[in-house]
């Protein structure tokens, strides 16, 4: 997190400018509406006082009917101003209501578009978490509120100063001597304004000092909130965690962690509160002194006859507003700068560069599925890692061949699939499709060639039909056929709402709960529905028993007849039907051939793995 970095005024301004530009895209003329709304508010406040003061002056002075009528009709303008003001307020307020979801949508759009590597990168994930966790206290909402405050302060200062300026020229009509003469002099007015200005500067300094402390304690508080929220909400609320909490009595561990973070959070909250109080106290004292001096000065001017009761009301009100505006301005600037920490992080996330090369060549649309893919001396290291997950891999997928990929955990099987599907690009070497480097193809076109069921696939709380087709409109017969092939026939026919049944109960109390095995079958049906020339199963059947897995794999084999298929499995028995088996070890293919051929090499890894598993099945069978 780069919040400790000091930004220059220009950098602060540029962040705010960019944020405003972005907001303008969803709420046109956003800044104008903020400024106009604040202007109307300030004008109605200062204006009402001015009119009241002028009426009082007139009633206690010349009592001109025409002037009184003009002043009273000014109230009508004020009503009109309030109506126009409300239009701008509605625009600003509407943004205020949608801002947080709009921010989430921008972040989500970025995560859809960003290179896949960023979604796995721990630094990127931590930054995203930080943005999400601070979103309550910072963001575009705060930008809006503080912009309104800033304009409010600026308008009050301008309007107040404009009216008070007249005070320099208000003198007593009587001849005065001594102290009274000094009170009436422009010098006294100047001294008064200098004193008020000094008090405002002191107030600004205090506010800036405490605001910085408040922001620091807010940040510390937000950092404690991350683990606290995880333990109190995310983990405990996760129904899947319930079993572990009970069986492993995790409540002790959770409670002690919560106690620790709660203690720190409470400390930071108190620190935050104390700084707020000190800030308010300091401001209130300065405000009181400044107000008393103002009352005294204006009262003295009335006493010497420079202006009447109306003038007292008018000038006292305006000077108080000027002092208030200094506080509002300094506070809003401090808040805007603190909010820039969040916006900077937010923009850093949006600006994450894409390092993948996205080509433009469309892939050939072939009904014969002749798509030759070949790895040429491919090596790969994950970002921030010195270790090669794939080493110098050269390998060709023959069209229509069924290839099993086997090997120990961490031997690089899934990484090879990620490279094949261009979730990552090779660190060294290259991959070709029909002789052309895959980076030269249009990315979406290239991805359309693959149907993959990953180990950690996800289903959504959408209807069964939508989950399989990944679309709101789908071919029902095709969805049903894919579900049948995946082994869900009985289950689907027993569902009262059929394909319309919503999976899980997150949004629908009639949603269906499905077992791990059923989820895997639905994920396989989804891969079948895509009907891509390459089908890849990356151990999606891990929670099925060996027989069920074998059944699915061999049925799948029938379904993907003329397609190229890659099967990854721990269970070598499931892969016997494949044409070829690639044995991975420490990022390399150390053996490649048919099941029978590989078994002949009694010193080979495949023989070792096969016997280790065959032994296990035999032991289980005799037990």
Closer to ligand ADP at the Cβ: 219 or 605? 605
In a 3-state reduction of DSSP, which class is residue 595? helix
Q: Please identify, using beta-carbon distances, which residue of 120 and 180 lies nearer to ligand ADP.
A: 120
Residue 354 Cβ, how far from ligand ADP at the closest point, in Å? 18
CB of 588 to ligand ADP, least distance (A): 12
Give CB contacts under 8 A, 24+ apart, made by 17-26.
18/343, 18/347, 19/140, 19/143, 19/343, 20/143, 20/147, 22/106, 22/140, 23/95, 23/140, 23/143, 23/144, 26/95, 26/98, 26/102
Nearer to ligand ADP, 128 or 331 (CB): 128
Closer to ligand ADP by Cβ: residue 124 or 389:
389
d(CA 260, CA 247): 23
Residue 256, judged by CB atoms within 10 A of its CB (0-12, 13-18, 19+), counts as exposed
Nearer to ligand ADP, 344 or 538 (CB): 538
Q: Check residue 401 and report its DSSP letter.
A: -
Q: C-alpha distances in angstroms, 455 versus 293, 447, 459, 563?
A: 74, 18, 12, 21
Give the C-alpha separation, 552 to 602, whole Å.
29
Q: How far is the CB of 515 from ligand ADP (least distance, A)?
A: 24
CB of residue 334 vs ligand ADP: minimum separation in angstroms?
41
State in angstroms the smallest separation of the CB of 389 from ligand ADP.
Answer: 4
Shortest Cβ 121–ligand ADP spacing (Å): 8
Distance, CA of 389 to CA of 444 (rounded, Å)? 26
Residues with Cβ within 8 Å of residue 358, at least 6 apart in sequence: 439, 442, 443
Query: What is the nearest approach in angstroms of ligand ADP to the Cβ of residue 545?
Result: 21
Q: How far is the CB of 415 from ligand ADP (least distance, A)?
A: 3
Q: Which helix (H) or strand (E) holds 531?
A: none
Residues 6+ apart with CB under 8 A from 372: 396, 397, 398, 399, 432, 433, 434, 435
Contact 441, 362 (CB under 8 A): yes
Smallest separation (angstroms) from ligand ADP to the CB of 276: 43
Smallest distance from ligand ADP to CB 19, Å: 32
**Cβ(330)–Cβ(203) below 8 Å:** yes
Q: Shortest approach of ligand ADP to residue 116 CB, angstroms?
A: 10
What is the H or E stretch that residue 191 is in?
helix 186-229
Based on CB atoms, which residue is closest to ligand ADP, 487 or 587?
A: 587
In terms of CB distance, is 263 or 410 closer to ligand ADP?
A: 410
Residues 6+ apart with CB under 8 A from 450: 420, 421, 532, 534, 535, 536
Quick check: 404 and 578 in contact, CB under 8 A? yes
Nearer to ligand ADP, 411 or 467 (CB): 411
User: Which CB, 22 or 124, lies closer to ligand ADP?
Assistant: 124
Q: How far is the CB of 241 from ligand ADP (least distance, A)?
A: 23
Minimum Å gap between C-beta 514 and ligand ADP is 25
Cα(501)–Cα(513) distance, rounded to whole angstroms? 10
Cα atoms found within 13 Å of the Cα of residue 297, Cβ hemisphere only: 27
DSSP letter (8 states) at residue 480: H
Closer to ligand ADP by Cβ: residue 466 or 539: 539
Residue 405 Cβ vs ligand ADP, minimum distance, rounded to whole Å: 8
The CA distances from residue 61 to 52, 68, 309, in Å, are 14, 12, 10
Closest CB to ligand ADP among residues 120, 442: 120
Burial 93-116 (b: 16+ CB within 10 A, else e): eebbeebeebbeebbeebeeebbe
Phi, psi of 405 (to 5 degrees): -115, 120
C-beta separation of 297 from 192 below 8 A:
yes
Q: Number of helices (H) and strands (E), helices first, in the chain?
A: 21, 10
Total residue count of the chain as it appears in this document: 623
**Nearest residue (CB) to ligand ADP, 482 versus 535:** 535
- Interface ranges with ligand ADP (CB under 6 A): 120, 382, 385, 389, 407, 409-415
Task: Using the minimum distance from each CB to ligand ADP, give the nearer residue, 409 or 620.
Answer: 409
Residue 369: DSSP 8-state: -
In this complex, which beta carbon is closest to ligand ADP, that of residue 117 or of residue 491? Answer: 117
Judged on CB neighbours under 10 Å (0-12, 13-18, 19+), 164 is: buried
């Amino acid at each position: 997190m780069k919040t400790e970095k000091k930004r220059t005024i220009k950098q602060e301004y540029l962040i705010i400018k960019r944020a405003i530009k972005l907001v303008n895209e969803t709420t046109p003329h956003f800044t104008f509406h903020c400024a106009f709304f604040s202007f109307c508010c300030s004008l109605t406040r200062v204006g009402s006082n001015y009119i009241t003061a002028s009426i009082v002056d007139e009633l206690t002075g010349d009592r001109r009917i025409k002037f009184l009528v003009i002043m009273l009709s000014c109230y009508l303008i004020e009503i009109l101003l309030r109506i126009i003001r409300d239009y701008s307020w509605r625009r600003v307020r509407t943004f205020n209501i949608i801002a947080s979801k709009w921010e989430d949508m921008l972040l989500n759009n970025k995560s859809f578009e960003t290179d896949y590597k960023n979604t796995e990168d721990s630094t990127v994930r931590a930054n995203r978490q930080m943005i999400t966790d601070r979103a309550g206290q910072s963001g575009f909402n705060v930008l809006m509120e503080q912009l309104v405050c800033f304009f409010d302060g600026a308008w009050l200062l301008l309007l107040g100063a404009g009216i008070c300026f007249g005070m320099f020229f208000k003198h007593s009509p009587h001849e005065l001597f001594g102290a009274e003469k000094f009170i009436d002099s422009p010098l006294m007015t100047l001294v008064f304004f200098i004193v008020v200005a000094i008090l405002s500067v002191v107030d600004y300094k205090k506010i800036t000092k405490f605001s910085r402390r408040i922001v620091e304690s807010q940040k510390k508080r937000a950092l404690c909130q991350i683990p606290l929220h995880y333990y109190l909400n995310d983990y405990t609320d996760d129904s899947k965690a319930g079993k572990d909490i009970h069986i492993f009595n995790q409540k002790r561990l959770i409670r002690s962690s919560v106690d620790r973070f709660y203690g720190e959070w409470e400390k930071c909250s108190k620190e935050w509160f104390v700084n707020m109080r000190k800030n308010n106290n300091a401001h209130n004292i300065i405000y009181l002194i400044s107000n008393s001096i103002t009352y005294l000065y204006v009262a003295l001017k009335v006493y010497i006859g420079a202006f009447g009761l109306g003038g007292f009301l008018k000038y006292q009100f305006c000077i108080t507003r000027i002092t208030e505006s200094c506080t509002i301005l300094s506070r809003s600037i401090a808040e805007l700068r603190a909010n820039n920490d969040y916006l900077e992080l937010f923009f850093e996330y949006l600006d994450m560069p894409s390092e993948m090369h996205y080509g433009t060549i469309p892939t050939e649309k072939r009904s014969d599925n002749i798509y030759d893919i070949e790895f040429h001396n491919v090596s790969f290291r994950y970002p921030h890692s010195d270790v090669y997950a794939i080493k110098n891999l050269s390998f060709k997928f023959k069209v229509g061949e069924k290839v099993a990929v086997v090997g120990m955990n961490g031997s690089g099987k899934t990484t090879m699939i990620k490279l094949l599907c261009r979730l990552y690009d090779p660190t060294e070497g290259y991959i070709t499709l029909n002789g052309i480097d895959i980076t030269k193809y249009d990315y979406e076109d290239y991805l359309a060639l693959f149907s993959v069921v990953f180990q950690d696939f996800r289903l959504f709380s959408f209807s069964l039909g939508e989950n399989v087709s990944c679309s709101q409109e789908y071919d029902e017969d095709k969805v049903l056929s894919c579900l049948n092939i995946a082994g869900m026939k009985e289950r689907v026919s027993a569902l009262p709402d059929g394909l319309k049944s919503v999976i899980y109960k997150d949004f629908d109390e009639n949603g269906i709960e499905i077992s791990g095995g059923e989820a895997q079958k639905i994920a396989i049906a989804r891969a079948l529905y895509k009907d891509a020339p390459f089908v890849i199963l990356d151990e999606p059947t891990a929670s099925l028993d060996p027989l069920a897995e074998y059944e699915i794999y061999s049925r799948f084999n029938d379904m993907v007849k003329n397609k190229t298929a890659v099967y990854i499995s721990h269970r070598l028995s499931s892969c016997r039907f494949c044409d070829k088996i690639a044995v991975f070890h420490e990022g390399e293919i150390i053996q490649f051939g048919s099941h029978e051929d590989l078994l002949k090499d009694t010193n080979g890894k495949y023989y070792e793995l096969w016997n280790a598993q065959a032994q296990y099945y035999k032991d289980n069978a005799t037990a």
